[in-house]
Structure 1
Amino acid sequence: MADTGKATRRPRQLNELEDMYDFLDEVRRRPGMWVRGRSLLHLESMLMGYTAALGVHGINENCNLRAGSQGPFAQWLWNRLGMAYPSSLGWAVEIERRAEQTDVPAIEMFFDLLDEFRGTAHQSQDDAKPKRH
């Protein structure tokens, strides 16, 4: 394996992750391991389960990536993609459609858009770390 000059870190165990963005960082590093077929619909389903688990365990974490067409990320995305109306199909489908049109892997486009979203004023100061009860 060629040395790329980049420092690599070992994959983290689930119990080492602190929030949804830590989890998504692991997915970004090894998408084929986490997301079947690199499908954003599968990723969206995983995040839905993540959000459900937060509720079940009484963990208050501000999740900007809600399933479907609701939530801060989806609202930002509709504007970013120049869509006049919110899509009832949700952010995963719309990113996959756009990726197909531009011949960019959907998972790559998702992470580029997520980085852009997180860099905007839409990112709340206090949603970075979960509050455990």
Structure 2
Amino acid sequence: MRPEGSPASSVKHWRECSDVYDFLEQIRLRPGMWLPGGSLQHLRSVLTGYRVALAVHSCHEPFAFWPEEDFLNWLHGRYGVSSSLTWVAEIERRTPAGSTPLDEFFRLLDDFRRDTPQEPAP
């Protein structure tokens, strides 16, 4: 599921991605290529590398997945909790039966993007 009004995605090379959400869409399309075993811990590591690369190359792009940033704050509001757990731990402990933490992340990501105004990358 994608945010309402967004076009269906197609597989492309990571160098063609325009921002973190475009990159996450590529991971959604081929999770086995990016995340061994579909692990949210691996996804967090990939996103940490993405954020560090932004800083190293002085790229100014909105990034909601750093600890204590927008996605975690939104998630705490969504779950009605105040916690020191990471977004990975919060999602893993609340994933409903019949789903996987990775599927739950992408469902929540779609909701987050619908609920939160997104700043365009400069």
The secondary structure found in structure 2 opposite 1:62 is coil
Q: Which residue of 1 aligns with 2:20?
A: 20
2:97 aligned to 102, 108, 123, which one? Answer: 102
Residue 14 of structure 2 contacts residue 26 of structure 2 at CA under 8 Å; is this kept in 1?
A: no
Could you tell me how far apart the structure 2 residues matched to 1:10 and 1:78 are? 31
Mind listing any 5+ residue stretches in structure 1 that lack a counterpart?
1-7
The secondary structure found in structure 1 opposite 2:99 is coil
Q: How high is the sequence identity, in percent, across the aligned residues?
A: 40
One-letter code aligned to 1:91: W
Give the Å deviation of 1:10.
5.0
Residue 44 of structure 1 contacts residue 92 of structure 1 at CA under 8 Å; is this kept in 2?
A: yes
Q: Which residue of 2 aligns with 1:56?
A: 56
Change over 3 Å in CA distance of 1:9–1:41 after alignment to 2: closer
Residue 9 of structure 2 contacts residue 25 of structure 2 at CA under 8 Å; is this kept in 1?
A: no
2:69 aligned to 47, 68, 71, which one? Answer: 71
Mind listing any 5+ residue stretches in structure 2 that lack a counterpart?
1-7
One-letter code aligned to 1:118: R
TM-score scaled to structure 1, two decimals?
0.79
TM-score scaled to structure 2, two decimals?
0.86
Could you tell me how far apart the structure 2 residues matched to 1:119 and 1:61 are? 19
1:111 aligned to 100, 106, 109, which one? Answer: 106
Output aligned runs, 1:29-40, within 5 Å. Answer: 29-40=29-40
Give the Å deviation of 1:60.
0.2
The secondary structure found in structure 2 opposite 1:119 is helix
Could you tell me how far apart the structure 1 residues matched to 2:41 and 2:9 are? 28
Which stretches of structure 1, 4 residues or longer, exceed 6 Å deviation after superposition? none
Change over 3 Å in CA distance of 1:50–1:102 after alignment to 2: same
